[in-house]
Amino acid sequence: MDRIIRCITSNGAIMAAGIDSTYLVATAQQIHKTSAVATAALGRLLTGASVMGSMLKKTNATITLKINGGGPIGSLTAIADSNGYCKGSVTNPGIELPLKPNGKLDVGRAVGNNGLLGVIRDFGEGEPYIGKVELVSGEIAEDITNYYTRSEQIPTVCALGVLVDKADVRQILAGGLLIQVLPGAEEADIDLLEKNVNKMEPVTTMLAKGMSIEEICQTALEGFKMEILDEYKIGYACNCSKERVERAIATLPEKEILSLADEEGFAEAKCQYCNKAYRLNKSDLKRIAETAKIKK
Ligand SMILES: [Zn+2]
């Protein structure tokens, strides 16, 4: 079972969230049939969204991360709720690219760095909060770090890792770490944190060694006293329904909905996040066309 834990140093200087998102990323891979590099790209974004979602502190709130960097993968979307459950989609899940000279998946090239990272926080009431920053590298963790520094002025360290087995792409290890310096932090706290972060191994290396996310957070916060604030069980979850599909179709012009009803006799719509197919028959379409007419 995947989890997030959030820790705070006892002097209130630093918050660290650790996430094991292995099953979440494996589920995304099964749904979207992603190649190795697309699994890593979508997996990193989902892992980041899940942690950021768990920090929303309000029931029914959601966070959406959107990346379009002009690379061959197209655009990536991840949406998480305040419990860390999330779903995602990618334009070109089958994209294959040569490995980087160091043998790593070339997420930065797949995503591209000519575009934006958009972050939308929706609290279920009022206008959603929208933030946008230019992409730094398309490697995603770096882009999220840059988002916090530039858009929210919160000094942040973000590490996201997805390890995909070269022989069997279904063998996955995924996780991440998000560390934030809180307003009460002193110079010495920041120095110590920097020292720890600089000597830290990649998250997936630590997970592969069998380290728990508690141990990973302890490594990041070595030399500090820390306590665990909370723990969330997380996973891949889609909340689509026939009603949502109907609402989407109702935004089409009435004439178009009626022509679907009369010419095809039915319409089929697939959820872009979980691939579930919804079939609407002729009478459904006529009813939706009526609502579409009333709205105009
Ligand atoms: Zn769905």
Angle of helix 282-295 relative to helix 242-249, nearest 10 degrees, comes to: 50
* CA 173 to centroid of ligand 1, rounded, Å: 24
What pLDDT does 18 receive? 98
Q: Where are the domains of the chain?
A: 2-234, 242-295
- Whether residue 296 has pLDDT greater than 70: no
221 close to 196: Cβ distance less than 8 angstroms: yes
What pLDDT does 275 receive? 92
- Whether residue 249 has pLDDT greater than 90: no
* CA 242 to centroid of ligand 1, rounded, Å: 10
**Residue range 213-242: average pLDDT?**
95
Question: Which residue did the predictor score with more confidence, 48 or 252?
Answer: 48
* CA 227 to centroid of ligand 1, rounded, Å: 37
- Segment 99-116, tens digit of pLDDT: 999 999 999 999 999 999
- Segment 179-218, tens digit of pLDDT: 999 998 999 999 999 999 999 999 999 999 999 999 999 9
* CA 247 to centroid of ligand 1, rounded, Å: 14
Strands 2-9 and 156-164: unpaired
What pLDDT does 84 receive? 93
* CA 285 to centroid of ligand 1, rounded, Å: 20
137 close to 113: Cβ distance less than 8 angstroms: yes
- Segment 53-89, tens digit of pLDDT: 999 988 889 999 999 999 999 999 999 999 999 999 9
- Whether residue 96 has pLDDT greater than 80: yes
- Segment 281-293, tens digit of pLDDT: 989 998 988 887 7
Provide the CATH topology of domain 2-234. Hsp33 domain (3.55.30)
- Whether residue 245 has pLDDT greater than 90: no
Domain covering 242-295 assigned CATH 3.40.50.12780 in the classification: no
pTM of the model: 0.93
* Average pLDDT score, the chain: 94
- Whether residue 45 has pLDDT greater than 70: yes
* CA 61 to centroid of ligand 1, rounded, Å: 18
Q: What are residue 122's DSSP bridge partners? A: 62
What pLDDT does 295 receive? 63
